[in-house]
Amino acid sequence: MGKKRVVIVGMGFAGLSAARQLSEYGFKVVMVDRNNYHLFQPLLYQVATAGLEQESIAYPVRALARNWSGTTFRLGEVTGVDFAARKLMLKDGELGYDYLLLATGSKTNFFGMQSVEEHAFDLKSLPQAEQLRNHILLLFEQASREPDQLKRKALLTFVVVGGGPTGVEFSGALRELSKYVLSRDYPEIDVNETRIVLVEAADSLLTAMEPHLRNYAAQKLEKMGVEIRFSTQVVDATAEQVFFKDGSNINTHTLFWSAGVAATPLAGNIGVTQGGGGRIIVQSDLSLESYPEVFAIGDTALFLQDDKPLPMIAPVASQQGRYVARVIQNREDGKNTENFRYHDKGSMATIGRSAAVATTHGYSFSGFLAWLVWLMLHLYYLIGFRNRLLVLMNWGFYYFFHERQVRLITRIK
The DSSP string of 257-319 is E-S-EEE-THHHHTT--B-GGGPEE--TTSB-SS-TTEEE-GGGEE-EETTEEPPSSHHHHHH
Look at residue 153 and tell me whether its pLDDT is greater than 90: yes
Q: What is the pLDDT of residues 93-127, one digit of tens each?
A: 999 999 999 999 999 999 999 999 999 999 999 99
Look at residue 131 and tell me whether its pLDDT is greater than 70: yes
The total of other beta-carbon atoms located within 10 Å of residue 230's CB is 14
Look at residue 298 and tell me whether its pLDDT is greater than 90: yes
- CB burial of residue 294 (10 Å; 0-12, 13-18, 19+): buried
Which residue would you say has higher pLDDT here, 150 or 401? 150
Please confirm, yes or no, whether 188 is among the known catalytic residues: no
Q: What is the pLDDT of residues 239-292, one digit of tens each?
A: 999 999 999 999 999 999 999 999 988 877 888 989 988 999 999 999 999 999
3-class secondary-structure state, position 356: strand
pLDDT classification of 1: cutoffs 50, 70, 90: very low
Look at residue 2 and tell me whether its pLDDT is greater than 80: no
Domains 5-34+76-108+261-332 and 114-259+346-401 share a fold: yes
Question: Would you state the pLDDT for residue 57?
Answer: 97
Question: Would you state the pLDDT for residue 3?
Answer: 84
Which residue would you say has higher pLDDT here, 269 or 352? 352
- CB burial of residue 277 (10 Å; 0-12, 13-18, 19+): middle
Residue 318 near residue 340 (C-beta atoms within 8 A): no
Least confident of 191-200, 238-247, 361-370: 361-370
Question: Regarding the domain delimited by 114-259+346-401, which CATH topology (the fold level of the hierarchy) does it fall under?
Answer: FAD/NAD(P)-binding domain (3.50.50)
Read out DSSP for 38-101? EE-GGGHHHHHTTSS-GGGGEEEHHHHHTTSTTEEEEE--EEEEETTTTEEEETTEEEE-SEEE
Taking residues 43-59, report their average pLDDT: 95
Task: Report percent pLDDT > 70 for the chain.
Answer: 99
Question: Would you state the pLDDT for residue 361?
Answer: 82
Domain boundaries, the chain: 5-34+76-108+261-332, 114-259+346-401
Question: Would you state the pLDDT for residue 402?
Answer: 84
The total of other beta-carbon atoms located within 10 Å of residue 255's CB is 22
Q: pTM for the whole thing? A: 0.95
Radius of gyration of the chain (CA): 22
Sign, Cα dihedral of 35, 41, 45, 47: negative
- Catalytic pick from 130, 169, 176, 200? 169
pLDDT classification of 11: cutoffs 50, 70, 90: very high
Helix, strand, coil percentages for the chain (3-state, nearest 5): 40, 25, 35
For the domain 5-34+76-108+261-332, what is the CATH superfamily, name and number?
FAD/NAD(P)-binding domain (3.50.50.60)
Q: What is the mean pLDDT of the chain?
A: 95
- CB burial of residue 145 (10 Å; 0-12, 13-18, 19+): exposed
Sign, Cα dihedral of 42, 45, 51, 54: positive
Question: Would you state the pLDDT for residue 403?
Answer: 85
